[in-house]
Structure 1
C-alpha cells in the first residue's frame, strides 16, 4: 500500500540519519475505502493526489508545532505492507480523518518511493498559514483563507537519493 507520511525538514533529516521513519504508531494518509467513497468520481491518480494533499495539510500542523523548523511542508511517499497501515473504523467517515491510517511498523528508508517538499518561495505562505492555524481552527474565515493559501503551492517531487541535498 502506498502511504503518505507528513514530516518536517527536521524529521526528514532524522529519517536520513536513522534510515527509518518511526517510532510507531505514525500517522499517514492513503487511499482508504472511506477516501474512495468520498471522491466517488476520482480515478486512482486523483485519489493518490488527494491522500498526498491530506498529508501536506498534516505536515503544516507539524510545522506549526515546531517553531524552529523551516517553514516548508514535507511528505514522504512509501510503500508498506497492507497489514502495516490500519484505518480507525470509528474515524473513517469523519471528513477531517479521510484517508488517515496508523502505521504499526517503522518505515525503512528503502521503502520510500519519493519525497515531496515545498519550494523555497512557498515559505512565506507556509509561515503565515502555520501562524494562522489556531485562529482557523476556531472558525476565523480570514485565517482559514491564509491557511488555504499554503495549499495553493504544489509540493515538488524528489527522488529518495536526493534527501541528503534537501536536509
Structure 2
C-alpha cells in the first residue's frame, strides 16, 4: 500500500540519520476504502493525488509546529511516499480526512519510494500560508485563501537517491 507521510526538511534529515521515519505511531494518507467510496468516480491515480494533497496540508502544519518550537525549517512542504503492508495501516473514522491512516511502526527508509517537495519558487506562498494559518483556523476567509495559495503549487517528485541533494539545497 502506498502511504504518503507528511514531513519537513529537518525531519527528513533526521530520518536519513536514523534510517527510518518515526517514531511510531505515524499519521499518513492513503487510498482508503472511505476515500474510494467518497470519490467513487476517481481512478487510482486521482485517489493517490487526493492522499498526497492531504499529506501536503499536514506537512504545512508540521512546518508551522517546527517553527513554533524554534526549528529552522525552510518553507517547503515535504511528503514522503512509502510502500507499507496494508496490515500496517489502520484507517481512521474521521469523515473530514477520509485518506488518513495510522501506522503502528516506524517506516524504514528502504520502503521509501519517492519524496515530493515544493519547488524553491513556492517559498513565498508557503511563508504566506504559514503566517495565515492561525487566522484561517479561526475561520478567516482571506486567510484561508492565502493558505490555499500554497496548494496551487504542485509538489516536485524526487527519487530516493536524490534525498542527499534535497537536504543540501
TM-score using structure 1 length? 0.95
- Please report how far the alpha carbon of residue 16 of structure 1 lies from its aligned counterpart in structure 2 after TM superposition: 1.2
Residues 46-65 of structure 1: pairs in structure 2 closer than 5 A = 46-65=46-65
- Please report how far the alpha carbon of residue 14 of structure 1 lies from its aligned counterpart in structure 2 after TM superposition: 0.8
Matched, 1:80 2:90: no
Q: In the alignment, which residue of structure 2 is the partner of 1:127?
A: 127
Determine the C-alpha separation between the residues in 2 that align with 1:10 and 1:80: 23
- Please report how far the alpha carbon of residue 88 of structure 1 lies from its aligned counterpart in structure 2 after TM superposition: 2.1
Q: In the alignment, which residue of structure 2 is the partner of 1:156?
A: 156
Please, which runs of 5 or more residues in structure 2 have no aligned partner?
none
- Please report how far the alpha carbon of residue 22 of structure 1 lies from its aligned counterpart in structure 2 after TM superposition: 0.6
How big is each residue's C-alpha offset from its partner over 1:15-67, in whole Å with a ceiling of 9 and x where there is no partner? 11111001000000000011111211100000001100000000011111111
Determine the C-alpha separation between the residues in 2 that align with 1:135 and 1:40: 33
* Runs of 4+ off more than 3 Å: none
Partner of 2:46, secondary structure, is helix
Aligned alpha-carbon RMSD (Å): 0.8
How big is each residue's C-alpha offset from its partner over 1:51-99, in whole Å with a ceiling of 9 and x where there is no partner? 000000000111111112110000000000111111123x2xx22x220
Which range moves more in the overlay, 72-81 or 9-18?
Answer: 9-18
Query: Any conservation in 1 of the 2:28–2:102 contact (CA below 8 Å)?
Result: yes
TM-score using structure 2 length? 0.94
Determine the C-alpha separation between the residues in 1 that align with 2:86 and 2:104: 10
How big is each residue's C-alpha offset from its partner over 1:135-160, in whole Å with a ceiling of 9 and x where there is no partner? 11111000000000000000000000
